[in-house]
């Protein structure tokens, strides 16, 4: 018999006239991983925030192991054993503190922990927590100095230190390499076996197939399907999430136009293998590879955030050596960066300002902003990408993560560019939102070259005319997205094949 860890009955939540949760009935079982799927705006994040004490429910009851549970604050939820790792990494760590302080922060904040900090003891305890997570970092290092993946692992390790009864993970592998994700899954297996209830929010089928014991789908603030019979019905879960079947993407591969960006003998880092690459007008190129393969490094080089170790670049035939992102934008090269919370979203701005921010000069006359022009641009972007909001004047923080991502992508689509680089544009979005964003990218790609950095192979297949594979800071595969040999591509991704194998030409 299943041991019910959490029982929700009739949970509703509204913000003004907007009802987000509409009578949620759900049980989460001890020693089981429940995957929660739902389109952006379905109510997943609000449900999580009710469970972890950010928002009180308007109606309904929650029981935690049979006892009434209605936390008024996140700290109260944590003390009760409900611990959450949020999708936004900076919600789980404090960048200006070192790793040890982040891992020990909740312990140090407890009453009776003492006024003076014993750094030696603090570091020793933090190392134990890090070792349990197989987290290989210097606990004295500032979290702000860590890469995105290690920051995510610190946030997860901090959550584990609470010995949770219910662990909630929101898209935890979005910033992790395959190796780091495997480490997380092994840890979750151990927690499940120890009786912890786990609520795992994800749209990555690779994650869901690996970790789920059951799948719960949400749509329009309600539970639309529960799937727990083996084998799990993944297609049924997607149908329940969307309200209809999601047909396979059927893109028409475009013929490349004139070369826009030409890279010759590029070496990203000292010791890496040189590569050459042409990006053409009317062509969407997906650049895929594991975390650390060089995708983001290449994006930074194209946008002037860093310089290659050696090599030459030309943009429409002219030498291209941007010293800053401002120079890159002026030259017609745009970058939509990954990690929207840190690098893209301006939380103090509304939707309109977040869309128009890099191009305010184009909405100005004699240094005066034309608010009407901004408004029209924002309204068009909202309509084109299906952004769910009340108004273009809504605060960006009021949107779901997926809708924030649409705003960030829309920001760089509203103006014409010669080269558009999008680094993980589908991070944290559901399947439908991914298709919406991908369709808009392809529809507007005629006059420019487009490079999309993606980690998931299904994302590459859905959007690209050509798929470039990177590994160890260089290009190891170049494939037209027709009758593609997926076995070969995936083997190149993990680096088990010689670069000269198959159709792997590094250039053009």
Cα 443 to Cα 53: distance, rounded to the nearest angstrom: 42
**Do 155 and 304 share a domain, yes or no?**
no
C-alpha 484/C-alpha 101 separation (Å) is 48
Of 131, 162, 193, which residue sits at a domain end? Answer: 162
- Same-domain pairing of 439 and 330: yes
Instruction: Count the alpha carbons within 13 Å of 493 in the hemisphere toward its beta carbon.
Output: 22
Residues 152 and 297 in one domain: no
User: Which CATH number belongs to the domain containing residue 439 in this structure?
Assistant: 3.40.50.300
DSSP for 21-61 reads: EEEEEEEEETT-EEEEEE-TTSSHHHHHHHHTTSS--SEEE
Residue 23 belongs to a domain = no
Q: Quick check: is 15 in a domain?
A: no
DSSP summary character for residue 66: T
- Rounded distance, CA 361 to CA 365, Å? 8
**Predicted local distance difference test score (pLDDT) of residue 419:** 97
Helix (H) or strand (E) holding 84: strand 82-85
Q: What is the DSSP string of 130-183?
A: HHHTT--S-TTSBGGGS-HHHHHHHHHHHHHTT--SEEEEESTTTT--HHHHHH
Domain for residue 291, yes or no? yes
Show the tokens assigned to 149: 């993946």
Task: Give me the residue label for tokens 């589908």.
Answer: 426
Cis peptide preceding 231, ω within 30 of 0: yes
Same domain, 310 and 445: yes
The whole-angstrom separation of Cα 274 and Cα 311 is 8
- Please check whether residue 119 lies inside any domain of the structure: yes
In a domain, 169, yes or no: no
In a domain, 218, yes or no: no
Residue 466 lies in a domain: yes
- Whether residue 316 sits in one domain with residue 458: yes
298 SS3 class: helix
- Domain end, chosen from 109, 129, 162, is at 162
155/266 same-domain check: no
Domain match, 305 and 415 both: yes
Nearest-10 Cα torsion for 142, 143, 148, 150: 90
State which residues form the domain around 315.
Answer: 259-494
* Residue 90 Cα distances to 102, 149, 152, 340, angstroms: 11, 12, 9, 11
Q: Are residues 124 and 273 in the same domain?
A: no
Count the domains in the chain.
2
Based on the fold, state whether residues 152 and 270 are members of the same structural domain. no
Together in a domain, 315 and 422: yes
404 and 291 inside one domain? yes
Record the tokens describing residue 153, joined without a space: 């692992």
**pLDDT by position in tens, the chain (length 508):** 579 999 999 999 998 877 889 999 999 999 999 999 887 678 888 999 999 999 999 999 999 999 999 999 988 998 899 998 876 666 667 888 888 888 887 666 555 554 446 678 888 888 888 887 777 788 898 988 887 778 878 888 888 778 889 999 988 887 676 677 787 888 889 889 989 999 999 877 778 889 999 999 998 899 999 999 989 888 888 888 877 655 455 688 888 999 999 999 999 988 899 999 999 999 999 999 877 788 989 999 999 999 999 999 999 999 999 999 889 999 999 998 876 655 567 777 889 888 888 776 666 766 666 777 788 888 888 888 888 888 888 888 888 777 888 888 888 888 889 999 999 888 777 777 788 888 889 999 998 999 999 877 778 888 999 999 998 899 999 999 988 888 888 788 866 544 433 343 333 4
Residue 411 near residue 378, CB atoms below 8 Å:
no
Tokens 């919406």 belong to 436
Burial class from Cβ neighbours inside 10 Å (0-12, 13-18, 19+) for residue 318 reads exposed
């Amino acid at each position: 018999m299943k041991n019910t860890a959490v029982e929700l009955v009739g949970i509703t939540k509204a913000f003004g006239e907007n009802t987000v949760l509409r009578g949620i009935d759900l049980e989460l079982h001890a020693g089981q991983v429940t995957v929660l799927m739902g389109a952006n705006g379905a109510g997943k994040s609000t449900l999580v925030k009710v469970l972890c004490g950010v928002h009180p429910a308007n109606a309904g009851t929650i029981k935690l192991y049979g006892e009434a549970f209605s936390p008024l604050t996140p700290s109260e939820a944590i003390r009760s054993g409900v611990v959450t790792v949020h999708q936004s990494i900076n919600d789980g760590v404090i960048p200006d503190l070192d790793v040890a302080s982040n891992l020990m922060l909740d312990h140090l904040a407890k009453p009776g922990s003492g006024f003076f900090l014993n750094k030696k003891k603090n570091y020793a305890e933090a190392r134990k927590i890090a070792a349990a997570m197989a987290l290989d970092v210097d606990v004295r290092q500032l979290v702000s100095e860590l890469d995105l993946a290690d920051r995510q692992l610190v946030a997860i390790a901090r959550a584990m230190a609470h010995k949770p009864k219910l662990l909630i993970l929101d898209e935890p592998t979005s910033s992790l390499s395959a190796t780091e994700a495997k480490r997380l899954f092994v840890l979750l297996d151990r927690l499940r076996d120890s009786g912890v209830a786990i609520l795992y929010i994800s749209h990555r089928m690779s994650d869901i197939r690996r970790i789920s014991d059951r799948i719960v789908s949400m749509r329009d603030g309600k539970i639309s399907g529960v799937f727990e019979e083996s084998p799990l019905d993944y297609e049924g879960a997607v149908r329940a999430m969307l309200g209809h079947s999601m047909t396979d993407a059927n893109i028409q591969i475009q013929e490349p136009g004139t070369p826009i960006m030409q890279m010759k003998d590029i070496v990203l880092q000292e010791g890496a293998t040189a590569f050459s690459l042409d990006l053409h007008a009317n062509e969407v190129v997906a650049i895929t590879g594991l975390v650390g393969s060089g995708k983001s490094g290449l994006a930074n080089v194209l946008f002037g955030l860093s310089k290659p170790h050696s090599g030459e670049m030309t943009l429409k035939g002219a030498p291209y050596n941007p010293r800053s992102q401002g120079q890159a934008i002026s030259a017609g090269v745009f970058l939509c960066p990954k990690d929207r919370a840190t690098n893209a979203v301006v939380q103090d701005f509304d939707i309109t300002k977040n869309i128009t921010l890099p191009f305010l000069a184009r909405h100005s006359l004699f240094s005066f902003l034309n608010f009407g022009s901004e408004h029209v641009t924002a309204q068009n972007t909202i309509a084109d990408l299906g952004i769910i909001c009340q108004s273009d004047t809504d605060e960006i923080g009021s949107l779901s993560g997926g809708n924030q991502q649409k705003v960030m992508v829309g920001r760089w689509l509203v103006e014409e560019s010669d080269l558009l680089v999008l680094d993980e544009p589908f991070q944290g979005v559901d399947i439908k939102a991914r298709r919406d964003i991908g369709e808009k990218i392809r529809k507007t790609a005629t006059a420019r070259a487009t490079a999309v950095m993606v980690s998931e192979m299904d994302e590459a297949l859905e959007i690209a005319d050509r798929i470039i594979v990177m590994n160890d800071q260089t290009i190891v595969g170049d494939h037209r997205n027709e009758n593609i040999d997926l076995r070969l591509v995936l083997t190149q991704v993990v680096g088990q094949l010689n670069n000269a194998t198959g159709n792997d030409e590094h250039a053009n």
